[in-house]
Amino acid sequence: MLEARSVSVVAGSKRLIDNVSLTITPGRLTAVIGPNGAGKSTLLRVMAGELKPSEGTVFLDDTDLLKVPVARLAARRSVVAQSTTLSFPFTVLEVVMLGATVPGFGIRDSAAADAAREALDAVGLAEFETRMLNELSGGERQRVHIARALCQLATAPPSQAGTAAILLDEPTASLDLKHQCDVLALIKAQAEMGRAVMLVIHDLNLAAAFADEIVLMAAGRIAGKGKPDDLLNEDLLSHTFGCRLRVVSSEDGGRLVLPSAITGKAIMGAAAE
């Protein structure tokens, strides 16, 4: 598992993350939600081993993450950033194959290409391999980067056993509804395959629909965590996000979070009828 113990990140006089403890468990999809500036992305960067915490430690299967050499770490966790831009024109397959360029993996180009094609197939872009990345739509590009992250873990040498983690920072931010669902179903499937998945996401309803556990962050601290049904309550969310929110039950028993302006109108509309 990937575990943060009492982690803080201090920048100047501001505590971006304040004494956060969090466990990302294999086989589960953990969604991190919270308002802008709550420290979600900073926490993800700390969990990825990219940012050194000012206090506290992140452990990967009881080893201090910062003591794991980057090449070995890359075999165990991959990251999909909020937005990745490329400075030069790559084909889709070339981008995904970059996931297999980890020093020490030492796999052949043909093996990397096979793994890359498998990953592209998994994200539903098998037909896109010779297209140029910069000609793709935002949603397609995001799926290419997810394929790259999958390719990275798929090509890791078998000697690197242990927790395999995927960390994603708002992978659905620029996607339409269908692609949001496709991408989250794909991510959920990765968790079901036994990977530890950390997902930073803004859309509370998507988080509720797909996550096994939700972590709510506010002002650098964890304001609550638990199963979607337990965590999504009106008072906690309204207080955390600083606006009036309604939680309504959908017909199939799920929870929906809506701004009260919408529910208010809907209720008034119902009353008028």
Q: Which residues bind another protein (CB under 8 A)?
A: 45, 48-50, 70-75, 77-79, 81, 84-91, 93-95, 97-99, 101-105, 109-110, 113, 129-130, 132-134, 141, 152
The amino acid present at 260, given as its one-letter code, is S
Give the span between the Cα atoms of 63 and 75, in whole angstroms.
15
Rounded to the nearest whole angstrom, what is the least distance from the CB of residue 14 to another protein in the complex? 14
The residues that bridge with 32 in the sheet, in sequence order, are 200, 215
For residues 152 and 240, which CB has a smaller minimum distance to another protein in the complex?
152
For residues 63 and 238, which CB has a smaller minimum distance to another protein in the complex?
63
Rounded to the nearest whole angstrom, what is the least distance from the CB of residue 10 to another protein in the complex? 14
The residues that bridge with 214 in the sheet, in sequence order, are 31, 226
Give the span between the Cα atoms of 36 and 140, in whole angstroms.
25
Closest C-alpha among 154, 188, 156 to residue 171: 188
Closest C-alpha among 77, 73, 59, 70 to residue 21: 59
The encoded tokens of residue 200 equal 């930073």
Rounded to the nearest whole angstrom, what is the least distance from the CB of residue 114 to another protein in the complex? 10
Rounded to the nearest whole angstrom, what is the least distance from the CB of residue 134 to another protein in the complex? 5
For residues 54 and 91, which CB has a smaller minimum distance to another protein in the complex?
91
For residues 60 and 75, which CB has a smaller minimum distance to another protein in the complex?
75
